[in-house]
Amino acid sequence: MPDHAAAPWLYLASQSPRRRELLAQWGWRAELLLPDTEAELHALEALEAVQPHEAPARYVQRVTRLKLQAALQRLQHRGWPPGPVLCADTTVALGREIFGKPADAAEAAQMLQRLAGQRHRVLTAVALAHQGQVWQGLSRSTVEFAPWSAAEIGRYVASGEPLGKAGAYAIQGRASQWIRRISGSHSGIVGLPAFETAQLLRAAGLALP
């Protein structure tokens, strides 16, 4: 539970260490608000299922809202002190096709083969709940990959980095060697857009460090 003497702080409903690191860089201390049972974890993963004909932007915003609602219920159930709750979700889209987290190495390789040499979109939705209100934002960026050879993809997948990452890559990791250019928010592609997140915090009346 948070130490009220140390400010500013918020609850972060995300397992991503990158999001926590970004908040720390911006001067925020994040108290993790995560599932603590297998049942809770599976229920959270089930929220990421794509609905038929769902557009990528609508998808990532819907999933983020649902994850925020689940986090608020978790906070209430645990009886922890009230505080702002931040949630974010990232998806990769090639056209209208949504690339989530690969289930295994084979699916990661398939995703990267599709993305190699192409431009794709990275969409990160952010939602903040504070004192009974909810604010939401959406970051849209474009990433262009240079062509990858099958051997390069195989070595990258073997590193383990693609697993657990939307689109099977991490821009801050080894995949950056094949990124020809980006347009938009680098922090949004990492997983938590600085500008949109700051906007939500300001709208909620929370003091920025």
Query: CB-based burial of residue 73 (10 Å sphere; 0-12 exposed, 13-18 middle, 19+ buried)?
Result: exposed
Catalytic residue set? 89
Tell me the residue type at 11: Y
CA separation for the pair 207, 1 (Å, rounded): 20
| Pick from 200, 95, 85, 57: nearest CA to 137 | 200
Task: For the chain, give the number of residues.
Answer: 209
- Per the rule left: phi > 0, alpha: psi between -120 and 50, beta: everything else, 132 is left
The torsion angles phi and psi of 63, rounded to 5 degrees, stand at -60, -40
Residue type, 3: D
